[in-house]
């Protein structure tokens, strides 16, 4: 799409960086990726509370972004618990001898720059468009 226009003449298609293929879920995914890049650029803000707010069509965007964040937090929590169980198993195996699959001390999952909990505290939407048959 030409810069400065809010419409696109291109055929539907693309990966979220071009016209076409956009819907509310794609927007939520891209907003989430932007949030992760923001935290990569400003890691000191990772521990600060996050509040999502908006109005009108944010009644669609904000809850979907919040859901992506909560899904991420659940994945990180599950991965952390799994890693802790694996570490406990390795300690038990080391006390009793070598583990059944050999020396697995270096097989623990590598930490990812995105493996942190997003400190979401809540969200609020004023005058929300909830996807009803009304003009937003």
pLDDT per 10-residue tile (average), the chain, 136 residues: 56 57 83 91 87 84 89 82 66 56 46 59 64 48
Q: Tokens representing 91?
A: 């300690």
Q: How far is CA 77 from the centre of its chain?
A: 13
Query: Which long-range contacts link 83-92 to residues 24+ away (Cβ below 8 Å)?
Result: 83/108, 83/109
Q: Are 70 and 122 in contact (CB under 8 A)?
A: no
**What pLDDT is recorded for position 34?**
92
**What pLDDT is recorded for position 94?**
62
Which H or E element spans position 25?
helix 24-41
**What pLDDT is recorded for position 38?**
92
Report d(CA 135, CA 73) in Å as an integer: 34
């Amino acid at each position: 799409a030409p810069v400065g226009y809010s419409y696109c003449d291109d055929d539907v298609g693309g990966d979220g960086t071009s016209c076409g293929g956009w819907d509310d879920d794609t927007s939520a995914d891209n907003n989430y990726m932007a949030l992760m890049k923001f935290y990569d650029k400003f890691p000191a803000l990772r521990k600060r509370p996050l509040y999502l707010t908006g109005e009108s069509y944010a009644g669609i965007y904000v809850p979907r972004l919040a859901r992506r964040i909560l899904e991420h937090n659940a994945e990180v929590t599950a991965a952390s618990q799994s890693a802790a169980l694996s570490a406990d198993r390795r300690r038990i195996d080391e006390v009793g001898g070598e583990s059944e699959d050999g020396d697995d001390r270096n097989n623990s999952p590598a930490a990812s720059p995105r493996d942190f909990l997003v400190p979401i505290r809540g969200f609020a939407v004023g005058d929300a468009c909830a996807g009803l048959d009304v003009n937003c």
